[in-house]
């Protein structure tokens, strides 16, 4: 049945064949298989709260997952066993966290064990701001929607005893602990600890909540899982014992805890529950809830969510293409509006970086969930072009994190630094934004922050491991098995190139020379004699001996490289492609080697270090047709209007940004470089409404015409474009980019 629903969701059409709204072209089930790690839950753009079906656990009949580390998402389409709606979640990430504050409706006698209270799902439906499913075990229809800091659930019960559970013991986070209190017969409050993203210690953070019910409970209580049976009134199960307390209004604290409200319902009676969240306090969670959802009006809350999505998605309009291509495109935009998300409450308060102090926003929103190693490559340039106001707030958020913690973020989550992945990725994000014209932030303080991470020696440097040898010798040596040394350095080179460009724009010429020179030291890794590619190098300058360029396929460990092979990193110097061409021995050798990556299956569409590869043919005059060929092939192969329609983990919108750019015929090969590479657009016409607060143009129109196999000419406002690149500032003047085949 679910498969049929996916087809139905691929585009709701009017009689004239055109979509009623952009929402009709969003399929939230895209990416819910094939490790895409997305989910179909209800949320609004950049929402702190999201109401997501949690189904990564199972019953004895559905195979209970004993090792949650394998799950990085609260939802997978293949799983049928539903255990509630979680209210703070991550989308498209590779490690588990959040997925907590679960609300679960049941009927009949109470049980606190998710193995027992869970139910199979049926008749799933999803659209932006809305999700519903029926629970087979209980004959309950569940429907959910959301605001920025709260979720609203509507449960249609059968006649009899009905229950709504709030389970704080179940979830994805590796951290445990929380508290819960029944305030009265219509309200529950509490908190749940989260953190240890990718199993990092020291990143714990409480999330607070207030839940309010549309109907007063006839019976209510709390529970706590006990190591041994000590209570007179308790449930026993194969997974342990639960002690529970009826009419309990004191605080219950611990790991596996929860509370419930029970009602007598008539047939098809609706009971609603709304949950407000905050990372600051219970009082703020209550204020968020009462402000954003003052009553229990499900329809109007949903309409507001849909309106927010319509506004966000309507920044770009397309004509032509197939219905499935439009769905892939608008779903990509949808996924890009999930993270980073706001973390400040309605009153502006937020948890400060790397502390439990409370800050307050003064200019715009405070953002969180910065998967920067992924998103610096394409997501943030897309945001700068289409959503510059949001991007500027993201930059300001990163700069404020430096003020609060002393370091720019690397992989930040809920105001805690996880230090996941490689490099110094905040630098290219901020520099790229600055050069695109988003400069309303403390530039000198930001430069100070960049210099600190680029020059601080030793273990004190949180962002750049192996910094000392890099500064002295220009590269990071291979010293031990699977040390990611080459990956470290390649990311430092990109950051230093950006820092050098930033220094020059600020009149700091000596710094420009220093960091630009440093950025070209990637040549230390190039093996001219044997492999003619990048290869790990030891401290004595000899190359790593047991080198296999293909080792690392499917993310298994590879000496010198993080999550990839030497092939997926060798062209990873986008700031100096012409220099790389010379290293390869000229344009012909460069082109043939790059083509080999695609012909022999050495390219990985799901792996960020090589996702710019298809556009590199544009740097060789006469070979640009190869970019068009490979981009179109990759789009057709990996991006589809199906649950497995992403190549892999969406990485907080990075793979979606790749698709959106590719379908528009543009790509930012090197953040910090204002040139977009050009390829063939999927659509006949793309219209981007430019933000008048940041750009002089009103609309950018990208128009495709002609019937040839490859592009024959490119014009901007009637004037020929020399080559297959166009500057960001030329595009933001507005006008028409004509691409003729």
Q: What is the mean pLDDT of residues 354-372?
A: 95
Strand 370-371 to strand 367-368: parallel, antiparallel, or no bridges (unpaired)? Answer: unpaired
pLDDT digit string, tens, across residues 483-529: 999 999 999 999 999 999 999 999 999 999 999 999 999 999 999 99
Angle of helix 624-638 relative to helix 654-664, nearest 10 degrees, comes to 130
pLDDT surpassing 80 at residue 226: no
Least reliable range by pLDDT among 12-21, 405-414, 596-605: 12-21
pLDDT digit string, tens, across residues 107-150: 999 999 998 999 999 999 999 999 999 999 999 999 999 999 99
Helix boundaries (H) for 372-425:
372-375, 379-386, 388-405
pLDDT surpassing 60 at residue 441: yes
Give pairs for 284-290: CB < 8 Å, separation 24+. 284/208, 284/345, 284/346, 284/347, 284/349, 285/149, 285/189, 285/208, 285/209, 285/210, 285/345, 286/189, 286/210, 287/345, 287/346, 287/347, 288/149, 288/150, 288/345, 288/346, 289/149, 289/150, 289/210, 289/212
Which residue is it, tokens 């970019």?
Answer: 627
Measured distance CA(636)–CA(261) in Å, rounded? 49
Tokens representing residue 615 in the block: 């556009």
Cis peptide before 519 (omega within 30 of 0): no
**247 or 288: whose pLDDT is higher?**
288
Measured distance CA(712)–CA(37) in Å, rounded? 39
Using an 8 Å Cβ cutoff, are 308 and 44 in contact?
yes
Tokens representing residue 385 in the block: 């072009």
Closest CA to 313 of 326, 300, 325, 323: 326
Q: What is the mean pLDDT of residues 703-718?
A: 97
pLDDT surpassing 50 at residue 674: yes
Using an 8 Å Cβ cutoff, are 36 and 45 in contact?
no
Q: What is the mean pLDDT of residues 85-94?
A: 96
pLDDT digit string, tens, across residues 603-614: 999 999 999 999
What's residue 432's pLDDT?
Answer: 98
- Buried/exposed code over 472-510 (b: 16+ C-beta within 10 A; e: otherwise): eebbbbbeeeebbbbbbbbbbbbbbbbbbbbbeeeebee
- Going by pLDDT thresholds of 50, 70 and 90, the confidence category of residue 73 is confident
**545 Cβ contact partners less than 8 Å away, ≥ 6 residues apart:** none
Using an 8 Å Cβ cutoff, are 105 and 167 in contact?
no
Q: How buried is residue 214: exposed, middle or buried, by Cβ count under 10 Å (0-12/13-18/19+)?
A: middle
- Going by pLDDT thresholds of 50, 70 and 90, the confidence category of residue 556 is confident
How far does Cα 540 stand from its chain's mean position?
Answer: 40
Q: What is the mean pLDDT of residues 353-380?
A: 96
Measured distance CA(390)–CA(413) in Å, rounded? 18
pLDDT digit string, tens, across residues 307-339: 999 999 999 999 999 999 999 999 999 999 999
3-state secondary structure of 72: coil
Task: Say how many residues make up the chain.
Answer: 741
Using an 8 Å Cβ cutoff, are 515 and 500 in contact?
yes
Using an 8 Å Cβ cutoff, are 101 and 88 in contact?
yes
Q: How far from 736 is each of 12, 371, 375, 380, 719, CA to CA, in Å?
A: 30, 33, 28, 23, 10
**605 Cβ contact partners less than 8 Å away, ≥ 6 residues apart:** 611, 634, 637, 638, 647, 648, 655
What's residue 199's pLDDT?
Answer: 74
Tokens representing residue 544 in the block: 């790593």
What's residue 65's pLDDT?
Answer: 41
pLDDT digit string, tens, across residues 142-156: 999 999 999 999 999
Which residue is it, tokens 């988003």?
Answer: 438
What's residue 182's pLDDT?
Answer: 96
pLDDT surpassing 50 at residue 233: no
Q: What is the mean pLDDT of residues 275-297?
A: 98
Least reliable range by pLDDT among 202-206, 278-282, 581-585, 587-591: 202-206
What's residue 70's pLDDT?
Answer: 45
Measured distance CA(645)–CA(640) in Å, rounded? 4
- Backbone dihedral region for residue 46 (phi beyond 0: left; psi -120 to 50: alpha; all else: beta): left
- Going by pLDDT thresholds of 50, 70 and 90, the confidence category of residue 13 is very low
Q: How far from 311 is each of 5, 112, 172, 276, CA to CA, in Å?
A: 26, 41, 32, 24
Average pLDDT, the chain: 92
Q: What is the mean pLDDT of residues 390-412?
A: 98
pLDDT surpassing 70 at residue 7: no
- Residue 339 carries which DSSP code? S
What's residue 9's pLDDT?
Answer: 38
Q: How far from 637 is each of 399, 482, 560, 659, 708, CA to CA, in Å?
A: 39, 31, 30, 12, 22
- Going by pLDDT thresholds of 50, 70 and 90, the confidence category of residue 197 is confident
**352 Cβ contact partners less than 8 Å away, ≥ 6 residues apart:** 358, 359, 404, 415
Measured distance CA(243)–CA(475) in Å, rounded? 59
- Going by pLDDT thresholds of 50, 70 and 90, the confidence category of residue 242 is confident
Structural domains of the chain, ranges and CATH numbers in brackets: 31-311 (2.70.98.10), 319-343+579-741 (3.30.2080.10)
Q: What is the mean pLDDT of residues 609-637?
A: 98
3-state secondary structure of 122: strand
Measured distance CA(193)–CA(576) in Å, rounded? 45
Strand 685-689 to strand 316-319: parallel, antiparallel, or no bridges (unpaired)? Answer: antiparallel
Measured distance CA(148)–CA(316) in Å, rounded? 22
């Amino acid at each position: 049945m679910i498969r049929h629903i996916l087809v139905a969701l691929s585009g709701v059409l009017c009689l004239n064949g055109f979509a009623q709204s952009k929402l009709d072209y969003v399929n939230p089930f895209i990416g819910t298989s094939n490790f895409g790690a997305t989910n179909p839950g209800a949320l609004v753009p950049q929402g702190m709260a999201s109401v997501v079906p949690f189904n990564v656990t199972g019953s004895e009949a559905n195979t209970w997952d004993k090792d949650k580390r394998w799950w990085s998402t609260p939802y997978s389409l293949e799983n049928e066993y539903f255990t509630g709606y979680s209210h703070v979640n991550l989308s498209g990430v590779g490690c588990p966290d959040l997925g907590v504050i679960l609300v679960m409706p049941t009927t009949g006698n109470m049980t606190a064990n998710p193995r027992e209270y869970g139910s199979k799902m049926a008749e799933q439906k999803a659209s932006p701001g809305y999700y519903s499913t029926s629970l087979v075990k209980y004959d309950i229809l569940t429907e959910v929607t959301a605001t920025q800091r709260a979720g609203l659930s509507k449960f249609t019960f059968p006649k009899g005893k009905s229950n709504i559970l709030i389970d704080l013991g179940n979830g994805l986070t590796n951290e445990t602990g929380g508290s819960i209190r029944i305030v009265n017969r219509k309200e529950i409050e509490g908190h749940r600890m989260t953190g240890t993203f990718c199993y990092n210690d020291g990143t714990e953070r409480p999330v607070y909540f207030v839940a309010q019910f549309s109907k007063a409970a006839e019976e209510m209580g709390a529970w706590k899982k006990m190591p041994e049976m000590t209570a007179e009134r308790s449930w026993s199960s194969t997974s342990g014992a639960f002690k529970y307390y009826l009419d309990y209004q004191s605080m219950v604290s611990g790991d596996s805890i929860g509370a419930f409200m029970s009602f007598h319902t008539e047939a098809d009676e609706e009971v609603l529950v709304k949950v407000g969240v905050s990372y600051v306090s219970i009082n703020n969670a209550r204020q968020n809830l009462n402000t954003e959802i003052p009553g229990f009006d499900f329809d109007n809350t949903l309409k507001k969510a849909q309106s927010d999505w319509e506004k966000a998605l309507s920044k770009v309009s397309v004509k032509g293409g197939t219905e499935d291509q439009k769905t892939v495109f608008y779903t990509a935009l949808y996924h890009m509006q999930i993270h980073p998300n706001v973390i400040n409450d309605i009153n502006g308060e937020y948890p400060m970086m790397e502390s439990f102090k409370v800050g307050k926003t003064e200019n715009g929103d405070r953002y969180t969930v910065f998967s920067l190693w992924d998103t610096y490559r394409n997501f943030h340039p897309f945001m700068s072009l289409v959503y510059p106001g949001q991007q500027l707030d993201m930059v300001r958020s990163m700069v404020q994190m430096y003020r609060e913690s002393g370091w720019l973020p690397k992989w930040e989550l809920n105001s805690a630094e996880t230090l996941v992945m490689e490099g110094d990725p905040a630098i290219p994000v901020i520099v790229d934004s600055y050069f695109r014209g988003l400069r309303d932030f403390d530039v000198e303080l930001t430069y100070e922050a960049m210099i600190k991470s680029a020059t601080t020696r030793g273990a004190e440097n949180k962002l750049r491991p192996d910094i000392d040898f890099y500064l002295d010798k220009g590269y990071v040596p291979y010293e031990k098995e699977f040390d990611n040394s080459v990956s470290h350095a390649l990311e430092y080179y990109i950051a230093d190139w950006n820092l050098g460009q930033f220094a020059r724009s600020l009149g700091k010429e000596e710094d420009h020379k220093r960091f630009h020179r440093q950025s070209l030291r990637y040549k230390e890794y190039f093996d001219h004699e044997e492999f003619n590619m990048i290869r790990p190098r030891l401290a004595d300058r000899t190359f790593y001996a047991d080198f296999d360029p293909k080792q690392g396929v499917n993310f298994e460990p590879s000496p010198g490289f993080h999550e990839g092979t030497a092939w997926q990193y060798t062209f990873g110097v986008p700031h100096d492609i012409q220099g790389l061409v010379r290293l390869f021995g000229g344009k012909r050798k460069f082109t043939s080697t790059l083509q080999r990556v695609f012909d022999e299956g050495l390219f990985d569409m799901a792996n960020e270090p090589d996702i710019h590869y298809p556009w590199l043919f544009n740097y060789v005059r006469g070979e640009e047709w190869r970019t068009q060929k490979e981009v179109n092939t990759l789009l057709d192969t990996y991006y589809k209007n199906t649950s497995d329609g992403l190549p892999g983990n969406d990485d907080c919108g990075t793979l979606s940004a790749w698709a959106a750019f590719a379908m528009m015929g543009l790509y930012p090969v090197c953040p910090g470089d204002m040139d977009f590479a050009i390829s063939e657009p999927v659509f006949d016409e793309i219209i981007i409404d430019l933000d008048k607060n940041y750009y002089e143009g009103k609309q950018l129109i990208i128009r495709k015409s002609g019937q040839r196999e490859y592009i024959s000419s490119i014009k901007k406002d009637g004037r020929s474009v020399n080559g297959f690149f166009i500057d960001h500032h030329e595009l933001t003047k507005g006008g028409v980019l004509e691409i003729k085949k």
